[in-house]
Amino acid sequence: MISLEDRQALAQDIHIAHRAGARLHLSCELAGIDVRTLQRWKACQGLVRGDGRPQAARPLPAHALSSAEREAVLATANQARFADMPPARIVPMLADEGVYLASESTFSRVLREHGQNTHRGRAKAPRKIRPPTTHIATAPRQVWCWDMTYLPATVIGGWFYLYLILDLYSRKIVGWEVHEKDCADHAAHLVRRTALAEGIAALSAQPVLHGDNGATLKATTVLAMLHWLNIKPSYSRPRVSDDNAYAESLFRTAKYRPEFPAKGFADLQAARAWGAQFVHWYNVEHRHSGIRYVSPAQRHAGEDQAILAARHALYTEAREHKPGRWSGNTRNWTHISAVTLNPERDSVVAQHLMGADMQPLAA
């Protein structure tokens, strides 16, 4: 590989020799290159841009991270609180603290250079799903998702039952309980308690409650309670496993948390204590990727717009400070106005948002 400075010097020497009467191919041979090489340099701007091949050695860009900045990025990513988080969650949390070290892609590049870019945590990499039905939420308390999952006990064959109700718009867990038995009475009590806690009686329109076709969630006791609360039930289609993707994803997140006991829970009190800890982490501390990495509690309370505006201002200031590190716009911190559950067609979502006089945004 010949550097740009050496190319220009060789070309200049050959040009002077050729004008003095030397034959061109002999001048190139004396310089150690072929005539074809010199012609290619001139035709392809090789004397201006340098070597365009991918493996060519190039000077370090002026806006590249310094060694101290790279060490700061690596040290931050290896902190105990970020040990199980990808850069996509680390960067927004730092932004909330008023700290900007580097972009998400830079964090990933630095971790990859040090062999630390593997999937951080116990979970496998997510895969895309194709859900079929449509519910649209543009504010809290419009669409709820609920389901029940099994929590293993230390005794083989023993289980505890976790019931969860998730607000689709904010992703906040608005209701949960753990019981020793799977019973429709428990589900009906949870719906009633959640409705009272969320104050849906004072709303002009009560939420839709979406669940699967499990016998517990479709029991007469539960349907009577939903009718009394004026909550409209919604169910997954028969023999379709992904019509309640948000609830299933929530359970997956819960069971792959580091504090989830791999050998099961000793008793009901231990399962409930873990449930309280998980719900607090998920609602208050967890930055959710589907809502621009704010916590569900912040979005449920309507605080996410101010947080996202502050992040945008921080990124704008960082770009103005060192514009050479930004090739385009700053990261998208716009507020997500609508969330869809199992969208069938984009036209359905667009028509709904037009009716609500809102602009469609990706969920």
- Residues of the chain falling short of pLDDT 70: 1, 45-46, 48-59, 120-121, 123-133, 239-242, 343-363
Return d(Cα 293, Cα 13) in angstroms, integer: 59
* pLDDT given for residue 49 in this prediction: 66
| Burial letters 193-232, b for 16+ CB under 10 A, else e | ebbeebebeeeeebbbbbbbebebbebeebeebbeebebe
- Helix (H, G, I), strand (E, B), or coil: what is residue 159? strand
Domain 135-297 has CATH 3.40.50.300: no
Could you write out the three-class secondary structure of 82-146? HCCCCHHHHHHHHHHCCCCCCCHHHHHHHHHHCCCCCCCCCCCCCCCCCCCCCEEECCCCCEEEE
Q: How far does Cα 15 stand from its chain's mean position?
A: 57
* pLDDT given for residue 44 in this prediction: 74
Positions of E strands within 265-338: none
| Burial letters 6-20, b for 16+ CB under 10 A, else e | ebbebbeebeebbee
Query: In the chain, what's the furthest Cα-to-Cα distance?
Result: 103
CA 327 vs CA 11, 319, 322, 323, 342: distances in Å: 33, 10, 11, 8, 35
Q: Which residue has the tokens 């972009």?
A: 103
Return d(Cα 166, Cα 140) in angstroms, integer: 10
Q: Which amino acid makes up residue 97? A: E
* pLDDT given for residue 107 in this prediction: 92
0.85 exceeded by the pTM? no
Return d(Cα 152, Cα 160) in angstroms, integer: 6
For the chain, the structural domain boundaries read 4-49, 67-113, 135-297
* Bridge partners (DSSP) listed for residue 32: none
Burial of 124 (0-12, 13-18, 19+ CB in 10 A): exposed
Return d(Cα 171, Cα 143) in angstroms, integer: 10
CA 307 vs CA 90, 301, 338, 360: distances in Å: 15, 12, 18, 21
* pLDDT given for residue 131 in this prediction: 45
Mean confidence (pLDDT) of the chain: 86
- Helix (H, G, I), strand (E, B), or coil: what is residue 208? strand
Task: Decide the pairing of beta strands 232-235 and 159-167.
Answer: unpaired
Return d(Cα 357, Cα 23) in angstroms, integer: 76
The token duo for 161 is 């039952």
Task: Decide the pairing of beta strands 143-152 and 208-211.
Answer: parallel
The token duo for 319 is 């770009």
Task: Decide the pairing of beta strands 143-152 and 159-167.
Answer: antiparallel
Return d(Cα 288, Cα 171) in angstroms, integer: 8
Q: Which residue has the tokens 């040009």?
A: 15
* pLDDT given for residue 344 in this prediction: 60
The token duo for 331 is 């990261």
* pLDDT given for residue 357 in this prediction: 47
